[in-house]
Amino acid sequence: MSNSLTLTASAIEATRKLVADEPEYFGKHLRVYLAGKGCDGFDYGVTFDHEDPTDVVYQIESDIRLICDQRSMEFVAGSSIDWVDDERGRGFLVNNPNHRKFRGKFYKKEVWRKKLSESASETQ
């Protein structure tokens, strides 16, 4: 399993356009994060945010960085982020090839919260 995070060409293009069009995004980086978990696995989020010194940082292009907090990396590692504008909606879409690993009732909220808190303890 690759630990990297990647952006597709359409996500790179959308990131540049959003930064150019939206003043509040200037100086911020693209952040991927865990937004929650259901029976079908994790829900992912992508937003513009400032980099934290403890973030994992991927320099995608000279002007684009992708950031993720260390606690979430175990669950998003290997993901690719795409930009979609179709019947699913308009926005960033996280494609995680390991998504199935985190599905179902056997990977309960308590388990992943414990893993996240253990990871946070290790980084302090």
35 vs 33: CA distance, rounded Å: 6
Domain-located, residue 1 = no
Instruction: Supply the pLDDT for residue 36.
Output: 75
Asked if the model's pLDDT at residue 17 lies above 90, the reply is yes
CATH number at residue 104: 2.60.300.12
- The reply to whether 37 falls in a domain is yes
CA angle 64, 67, 76 (to 5 degrees): 125
Q: Tell whether the model's pLDDT for residue 86 goes beyond 80.
A: yes
The answer to the question of residue 19 being in a domain is yes
Q: Is there a domain that residue 31 lies in?
A: yes
Which residues is 38 bridged to in the sheet?
41
What pTM value is reported for the model?
A: 0.77
Residues paired with 86 in a beta bridge: 89
Closest C-alpha among 74, 52, 78, 54 to residue 118: 74
pLDDT for res 4? 87
Domain span at 42: 6-123
pLDDT(15) > 50: yes
68 is a domain residue:
yes
Q: pLDDT tens for residues 106-118?
A: 445 566 566 666 6
Provide the number of structural domains found in the chain: 1
